[in-house]
Structure 1
Amino acid sequence: MVLNTSLIILSFILIYFLFRQLYYISNDIYWANKDVHGIFSKILIFFLYFGFISMIVQYFREDYHFPLRYLIYIGITATIRFIIVNNENSIQTLWLATVVFVLTISYLMLPHPEAKND
């Protein structure tokens, strides 16, 4: 009960930050902000909030269970978003690409629920 209540409160907090980020993005568009990198960063942060909210919704849809494959999806997409925004250091980008590769291999090693054992 405490976990579910905490997740509901967290989802409302994340919804607030999601709409706040949307407000910042719309201000940048309205005032014709020329900092494309800054606007792109704000859009990626918006989608991170959206991803966390959808993760909480998925938890309730899966009968209070969160499959490991969803965490791996989130890890892969978050790492790719980080690479897109912060790509100044090539060694760091190489390490992050290695992380994406390892997470992808981990996902492929998971047993999938569609595969039925007859």
Structure 2
Amino acid sequence: MNFETYKKIINRVIDIILGIGSVFIIVYMFRYLIDVGRLIFDDVSTDNYELFIQEITAFFMLFEFAVMLMRYIEEDHHIPVRYLVLISMTAILRQLLVVHDNGLQTLLLAVSILLLAAVLTMFTPSSKHFNFQRFIKKTNDLDEKEK
């Protein structure tokens, strides 16, 4: 057997494992939806509100994992960096929604979102201000001129 055959077998095994993981994630998503549905009809209190927010953020975390698994399989076992940056930004925003009573932590989370937005802008090919691909090309051109 050659390398390509091993690669296909390993990719199939990974697809099966990811499929099983996706089923578990979807089951937990439905569980969180049922919990959120129950909390909607409960009495309004601070404890219920906090639990409601926790259940919704957990649901969206599972939703992101499910979408990321689908994207991984669709992209031939590859996740683009741009997609990972977007997932990181939404995770930080979720953290801001849940924990917003500490001023320093809120500031640091906001700065991290700003940095990720700058990275996202650099990795966007159509960006006029920060184009990472254009920067790499200029660097390569300078290297060639030095030789």
State the TM-score, normalized to the length of structure 2.
Answer: 0.70
Does residue 1:87 correspond to 2:100, yes or no?
A: yes
Corresponding residue of 1:6: 17
2:32 equivalent among 21, 33, 38: 21
Number of equivalenced pairs: 115
Shift of 1:77: 0.5
**Whole-Å separation in 2 of the counterparts to 1:65 and 1:23:** 33
**Whole-Å separation in 1 of the counterparts to 2:88 and 2:28:** 20
**Whole-Å separation in 1 of the counterparts to 2:87 and 2:95:** 12
**Whole-Å separation in 2 of the counterparts to 1:16 and 1:99:** 32
Any idea what SS the aligned residue of 1:74 has?
helix
- Structure with bigger gyration radius: 2
Corresponding residue of 2:68: 55
Corresponding residue of 1:77: 90
- The one of the two structures with greater contact order (alpha-carbon pairs below 8 A, sep at least 6) is 1
Q: What amino acid is aligned across from residue 81 of structure 2 in structure 1?
A: L
- Runs of at least 5 residues in structure 1 that lack an aligned partner in the other structure: none
Q: What amino acid is aligned across from residue 104 of structure 2 in structure 1?
A: I
Does residue 1:105 correspond to 2:115, yes or no?
A: no
Shift of 1:6: 2.0
Identity of paired residues, percent?
A: 32
Moved over 6 A (4+): none
**Whole-Å separation in 2 of the counterparts to 1:44 and 1:112:** 31
The root-mean-square deviation of aligned C-alpha atoms, in Å, is: 2.1
Corresponding residue of 1:68: 81
